[in-house]
Amino acid sequence: MRYVKKLFFVLWVLLATAVLLEVGVRLWGYSAHYIYEPIYRPYDGSADIPYVHRPNLHNARARGGAVINTDSLGLRSLASGTTYGPKGQNECRIAITGDSVTFGEGITRTADVYPVVLERILNRRRPEERVRVFNYAVSAYSVRQMAATLRHRMLAIDPDVVIMAVIPADFDLSRTGTVDRWGYTAHTGTSTGLAGRDSLFKRLLRQVHLTYVLRDILRQHRSRRAGDSTGQAAIAVPSSFDYLREFTSFARSRHLSPLIVLLPSLHQSFSPAFVKRLRQDRIPFLDLGFVVHEFAPERFMASRFDAHPSAAVHARIARLLADHLSGSVCGAATARRAADRR
C-alpha cells in the first residue's frame, strides 16, 4: 500500500507539473502561432496536390494567428464565399502560387497580405484596367505543389500572369505532408495507431501548447546532432529546380506570362549560382531577397516567435512586385487578348 501511495503521489506531481507548464506556455505565447482550426481538405484533382483550403471559410483561425475567409475556390480572400464570373474585357488576372509566406501566415488581416496589397496598388496605378490578384498559396507547399497548382487549379480563372513565389525551403519536396480526416495537415503516412494521422489522441494533442515547445526542442537537438547551421545559408541549385522550368514552360505553352519571385527569408537565401541558373535557362524572375536586409529581425518577423514576414514586409514586397508588373505585363496581356479576338 505504501508503494501504491508513492506511485499516486509521483503521478499527481507529474500531472500538476504538466498543467503548470501548459499554463506557463500559454501565458508565454510561444505556441500560439502553431494552433489552427481544421481548414484543409484533400484534393483529388492531382496526386501532386495532397490538400487545399476548404472553400467558403468564414473567420477561421489559420496558422500564425491569421483569421481568414476563403472564396468559392478555397483561396484566401477578403470575403467568404466570393465567386467569379468570366473575365471582363479590360480585366487582368494575376494568379500567385506559393507557400505560407504568400498565404500570409502570421498576418492576421487578409488586407495586409501582399497579394491583396498588390491588387490595390495596381488598380490605383492603372485605373483604365481592372486588376484581380488570386492567392493560390497554401502553407507547407513545395515547388512540386506550386507547379501542379498552375496545371490543375489556376487555369480555371483564366489568368494572364502566373507567379510562383518561393523561398529556399520550398525546394525540399519532403516538407509537404497530407491531411487527416478532420482537416489538419500531418506528415505521418499511416492513419492508424496512437500517433497515426487520423488518431483522436493526436487531434487532442494539437490543442496542448506544451507539445509544440517539446517538439521544437527535439528538432533543435536533432539539428545540432546533424550539424545543421542556422544563419543566412545560401542554397545552391537543387534537383527540384526543374519544377521552375516546368512552371515556366507550361505557362508559355498556354500563352500566359510567367514569373518566378524569390522572396526574402530570415534564415536562408538563394545563392549566386541559383540566380545564374535562372538567367541561363531564361526563366523570368524577380529577386526580392535583399528585402530581408532592409528590416531589423524584430521588424521582419510576424511576431517574436514567428519568423514569417510581418505586414510591413508584405507591404514592401507588394510595392516592389507592383513596380515590376505595372510597367507592361498586364497591359501586354490585355493587348494580346484583344489581338486574339481579332
Domains in the chain and their CATH numbers?
40-175+233-341 (3.40.50.1110)
Residue with cell 526574402: 264
Cα gap 212→63, rounded to integer Å: 13
pLDDT category of residue 234 using cuts at 50, 70 and 90: low
Q: How confident is the model at residue 326 (pLDDT cuts 50, 70, 90)?
A: confident
Q: Print burial letters for 91-102: b (CB count within 10 Å at least 16), e (below 16).
A: bbbbbbbbbbbb
pLDDT beyond 50 at 229: no
Residues 6+ apart with CB under 8 A from 268: 167, 168, 169, 232, 233, 234, 235
Alpha carbon distance 215, 56 (integer Å): 32
Residue 204 grid cell: 487532442
Q: Which residues of 44-62 are buried (b: 16+ CB within 10 A; e: fewer)?
A: eeeebbbbbbebebeebeb
Task: Over range 106-114, report the average pLDDT.
Answer: 97
Q: What is the pLDDT of residues 244-279, one digit of tens each?
A: 999 999 999 999 999 999 999 998 999 999 999 999
So what's the pLDDT on residue 232?
Answer: 57
Per-residue pLDDT at 328: 56
Q: Is 128 helix (H, G, I), strand (E, B) or coil?
A: coil
Q: 61: part of which helix (H) or strand (E)?
A: strand 60-61
CB neighbours of 315 closer than 8 A, spacing ≥ 6? 112, 114, 117
pLDDT of residue 22: 86
Beta strands in 188-335 (DSSP E): 233-235, 257-262, 268-270, 285-287, 301-303, 306-309
pLDDT tens across 7-49, in order? 888 889 899 998 999 899 899 999 999 999 999 999 999 999 9
Whether the pLDDT of residue 321 is over 70: the answer is yes
What grid cell was written down for 68? 481568414
pLDDT digits (tens, 9 = 90+) for 127-155: 888 999 999 999 999 999 999 999 999 99
Across the range 67-72, mean pLDDT stands at: 97
Q: Enter the C-alpha cell of residue 225.
A: 546532432
CA dist 65 and 75 (Å) reads 17
- Residue 225 pLDDT class (50, 70, 90 cuts): low
The count of C-alpha atoms lying within 13 angstroms of the C-alpha of 322, restricted to the half-sphere facing its C-beta, is 22
Q: Is the pLDDT of residue 337 over 60?
A: no
Compute the Cα dihedral for 89, 91, 97, 99 and give only its sign: negative
Other residues' Cβ atoms within 10 Å of the Cβ of residue 291? 18
Burial of 39 (0-12, 13-18, 19+ CB in 10 A): buried
Q: In the prediction, which pLDDT does 128 show?
A: 85
| pLDDT average, residue stretch 232-241 | 79
268 is written with which cell numbers?
536562408
Q: pLDDT averaged over the chain?
A: 90
pLDDT of residue 72: 97
pLDDT digit string, tens, across residues 151-186: 999 999 999 999 999 999 999 999 999 999 999 998
Q: Give the integer Cα–Cα distance in Å for 102 and 166.
A: 9
- Grid cell 484566401 is found at 76
Q: Which three cell numbers, joined as nine digits, stand for 90? A: 479590360
Q: What is the predicted pLDDT for the residue at 230?
A: 45
